[in-house]
Amino acid sequence: MATNITWHPGLTHDERSKFRGQGGLTIWLTGLSASGKSTIATALEQHLLHNGLAAYRLDGDNIRFGLNKDLGFSEKDRNENIRRIAEVSKLFADSTTVSITSFISPYRSDRDQARALHDQDNIPFIEVYVDVPVEVAEQRDPKGLYKKARAGLIPEFTGISAPYEEPLKPEIHLRSDKVSVEEAVQIIVDYLVEKGHIKAL
């Protein structure tokens, strides 16, 4: 780690919120592959933007094409993947954007660290557990990943040959096999309004 650097303070999050008329926060969607995280995140982003809110989606696959293209899927690399995303999502949220992340983020400790990073600057962190039985995820399998994992072609695949640690107390728990994408988006929006993070849309 570099030691010859200095943090340069600027506007506070509250000051930015006042000037922009919007508060920032991170909505962290976690769950198995094929649970519906990305689909819900995309629909949520579109809904918020349509209603005049600044929102930006950080997607697990997309990030690995750029920022995290140097990382694999070992536990160490998964830890670093989530650490980087937590930092990036916090920057978006600090800019008073609704930052929406959709990552498997299988380890509870990594998600807890992401939350703590936001908490230290009083930036809201909303964990959304997109829950689905692994059997349903395998039936969906839009990328054919579960089939490859079962055949031993993908080592360390979450839910098959690598663990997924379920959130203990997520702010929102969605069963994506029991609610539609539209219903899931509305559940999240209703929570944000109830907690005062956004105004009623």
Q: Which sequence positions are flagged as catalytic?
A: 105
- 26 DSSP 8-state letter: E
Helix boundaries (H) for 51-74: 60-63
Extended beta strands in 31-104, E state: 55-59, 98-102
Q: How far apart are CA 146 and CA 153, in angstroms?
A: 10
Return the residue matching tokens 């962190």.
125
Q: How far apart are CA 194 and CA 188, in angstroms?
A: 10
Q: Work out whether the CA dihedral 19, 8, 89, 164 comes out positive or negative.
A: negative
Please, is 197 exposed, middle or buried when counting C-beta atoms within 10 Å of its C-beta (0-12, 13-18, 19+)? middle
Return the residue matching tokens 């993908």.
154
- Residues facing 128 on adjacent strands: 29, 172
